[in-house]
Amino acid sequence: MMVDSVTLEVVRNGCIAIAEEMNANLVRTGYSPNIKERRDCSCALFDADGEMVSQAENMPVHLGAMPFSVAAAVEEFGGSLEPGDAVLLNDPFRGGAHLPDLTLVSPIFANPEAEDPTLVAYAANRAHHADIGGSTAGSVAADSTEIYQEGLRIPPVKLFAGGEVVDDVMEMILLNVRTPDERRGDLRAQEAANETARKRVHELVDKYGVDELDDAFDEIKNYSERRMRAELEAFPDGTYAFEDVLDDDGRGNTDLPVEVAVTVDGDNVHVDFAGTADQTEGPINAVLAVTSSATYYAIRCVTDPDIPPNHGCYRPIEVDAPEGSIVNPDPPAAVVGGNLETSQRVTDVVLGAFGTEAPERVTAAGQGTMNNITFGGTDPRDGTPYAFYETQGGGFGGRTGKDGMDGVHVHMSNTMNTPVEVLETAYPL
């Protein structure tokens, strides 16, 4: 059924508002400084097919990878999910990014009290937890050589069932982290964010009905796809190549190449990372979800920023990353830094490739890192454990007709800095 333009625009903006309200509530109810101050979290709304319809303006490295998590949750539980259920996961090799990023996926049913409720959407959010266990406080082990050293690895599991927490799953998580009270509080905040989406989607269902809302979701994605294809057609057909290196993997392996060949063919683009270094001993391997996320982001940067970001934007983009490479490693590779560092280099090379044909659309390279700082210990004030995690801003490259910027987060990161007053209150500093 065709959706009229007024209804389409109202629903589209309503979906964006849902994602933004999810994020506002996640930040407001978050327990840890990492969520409530740094805002290291992201929220999005997906349709019943698990395709993204809208997202909040949060972390690029989260948002492009989150569809992989939703797909993993749906694949694991299929049609067995019921109202009030929520699936938690962080396994980088099953839709996650790195272990500190915990994703919660909740189905939304139009008629949850019915005997056979109708699935209409999924709410999903991803939050970086300041500790998820592993060999170091903060769960960013720069010397890790396999994922087992990096923290608790969670496949898709139900953390909530019928609206109630699954106690044994929650207990298993809390027993394996240094700061269980923080983890419990942040996980409950994630559940509250998805509950916000459920309420707002029900309002849309009450106004438009399931069928019209589903048609609107489809057209929202189709509209973005049409606009993205029109943008890609403006680039000359051909293959644009670029190469850069990762300086070091933390284990003494240096100058690891990241190569890309971007082939534009009409309104499609194929991004191939053949020639990139094999997966390495250190923790800078980026799983496919992260590599894809960085690629999507870079292509969004060189196309019209007014295109609504959703699944439709990704349809014209094909990503090939060699298996067993630092941009698509095999388990049990260490991956915590792939999300933090290699994602930035993937962004750099894809932008660099487009810069060979359209330099006016590309910025100069920025700091190329997220500048992670972690530490932890026992708070002498009360004897409780603590774990601190922070990313620092740096230089952003110059743009066509404009200078660069100082002290900002670049590309895949989009967090805030923790105020010093909060640091002194929350940690023994």
For range 200-210, the mean pLDDT:
97
Is 349's pLDDT higher than 80? yes
Is 94's pLDDT higher than 80? yes
Is 89's pLDDT higher than 70? yes
Which stretch of DSSP H or E encloses residue 232? helix 210-233
Beta strands in 18-138 (DSSP E): 41-47, 52-55, 86-89, 101-109, 119-128
The band of 23, judged by pLDDT with boundaries at 50, 70 and 90, is very high
Query: What φ, ψ does residue 256 adopt, rounded to 5°?
Result: -90, 115
CA distance 8 to 6: 5
CA distance 8 to 101: 33
For range 112-117, the mean pLDDT:
89
For range 18-43, the mean pLDDT:
97
Residue 3, pLDDT score: 85
Asked if the bond preceding 236 is cis, omega within 30° of 0, the reply is no
Q: How does 162-183 read in b/e, with b if 16+ C-beta sit within 10 Å?
A: eeebbeebbeebbebbbbbebb
The band of 77, judged by pLDDT with boundaries at 50, 70 and 90, is very high
Average pLDDT in the chain: 96
With H, G, I as helix, E, B as strand and everything else as coil, classify residue 154.
Answer: coil
Is 412's pLDDT higher than 90? no
Question: What pLDDT digit, counting tens, does each position of 216-275 carry?
Answer: 999 999 999 999 999 999 999 999 999 999 999 999 999 999 999 999 999 999 999 999
CB atoms within 10 A of CB 270: 15
Sign of CA dihedral 368, 300, 288, 68: positive
Q: Is the pTM of this model over 0.95?
A: yes
Query: What φ, ψ does residue 284 adopt, rounded to 5°?
Result: -105, 20
Residue 371, pLDDT score: 87
Contacts for 189 with CB less than 8 Å, ≥ 6 apart: 25, 26, 29, 30, 31, 35, 127
What is the 8-class DSSP label of residue 341? I
Q: How many residues does the chain have?
A: 429
The band of 96, judged by pLDDT with boundaries at 50, 70 and 90, is very high
Residue 88, pLDDT score: 99
Work out the percent of the chain whose per-residue pLDDT is above 90: 89
Question: What pLDDT digit, counting tens, does each position of 305-344 carry?
Answer: 999 999 999 999 999 999 999 999 999 999 999 999 999 9
Question: What pLDDT digit, counting tens, does each position of 32-73 carry?
Answer: 999 999 999 999 999 999 999 999 999 889 999 999 999 999
Is 1's pLDDT higher than 70? no
The band of 86, judged by pLDDT with boundaries at 50, 70 and 90, is very high
Contact yes or no for 388/376 (Cβ under 8 A) = yes
Name the more confident of 393 and 204: 204
CA distance 256 to 240: 20
